[in-house]
Amino acid sequence: MQGDVGVRPFRLRDAQPWSEARIRNEDWLSPWEGRQPGLPDAPWEEGHSPGAFAAMLRGMRRESRAGRQLPFAVMVNGSLVGQVTVSNVVRGAFQSASVGYWVDREVAGRGVMPTALGLVVDHCLTVVGLHRIEANIRPENGPSLRVVRKLGFREEGLHPRFLFIDGGWRDHLSFAVTVEDLTEPMVSRLVGLPGQ
């Protein structure tokens, strides 16, 4: 929790607010979301119903128990407004993971995601014991680039044709932070920035 913004694990009772937010925000979210090529395009409402959430939660819990994923609900004053998912967790000599995230358009531009992502990265690089977190972002996604730049992620390069999004293989800029970069909690880098 930092100010009004907190992150916590998902619960079954998040089904309704998650579904409402996802359906209301289809135009806002769909240009940035990857999907497996070759699979038929399910209607957005069907893929984001409360029932779809329950199935997603079962999958997320299975992946979490296996140590491959850490999904977080993003809360503002007790209401669910978004999600941060830490996935592709690899241990061994790598100790790395990648993050994906979204917020409801109604709360965009208030610094909610920088705070939520900062809290998650701090947790992953301390309590969870990971060494590195990466974020891969389409060069066209100005708001998302702002989030990682505010938090001081390092830009590491361009991955051509990296993810299948919106009907094609899209280039992504890669950003990362390692535990050596955290001389202080990541969220404290935001203090004094507009919107915090």
Ligand X SMILES: CC(C)(COP(=O)(O)OP(=O)(O)OC[C@H]1O[C@@H](n2cnc3c(N)ncnc32)[C@H](O)[C@@H]1OP(=O)(O)O)[C@@H](O)C(=O)NCCC(=O)NCCS
Per CB under 6 A, residues contacting ligand X are: 28-29, 32, 101-103, 108-114, 137, 141-144, 146-147, 195
Which residue type occupies 121? V
- Three-state DSSP class for residue 63: helix
Question: Least distance (Å) from ligand X to the CB of residue 40?
Answer: 23
Burial classification of residue 80, based on how many CB atoms lie within 10 Å of its CB (0-12 exposed, 13-18 middle, 19 or more buried): buried
DSSP H helices, 127-195, are 142-150
C-beta of 97 vs 103, nearer to ligand X: 103
Question: Least distance (Å) from ligand X to the CB of residue 71?
Answer: 15
Cβ-proximal residue to ligand X, closest one: 109
Torsion on CA atoms 196, 27, 89, 158, rounded to nearest 10: -90
C-beta of 30 vs 129, nearer to ligand X: 30
Question: Least distance (Å) from ligand X to the CB of residue 144?
Answer: 4
- Three-state DSSP class for residue 191: coil
C-beta of 57 vs 112, nearer to ligand X: 112
Question: Least distance (Å) from ligand X to the CB of residue 93?
Answer: 27
C-beta of 129 vs 195, nearer to ligand X: 195
C-beta of 22 vs 132, nearer to ligand X: 22
Question: Least distance (Å) from ligand X to the CB of residue 195?
Answer: 5
- Three-state DSSP class for residue 72: strand
CA angle centred on 171, ends 169 and 172, rounded to 5°: 125
CA angle centred on 91, ends 113 and 126, rounded to 5°: 50
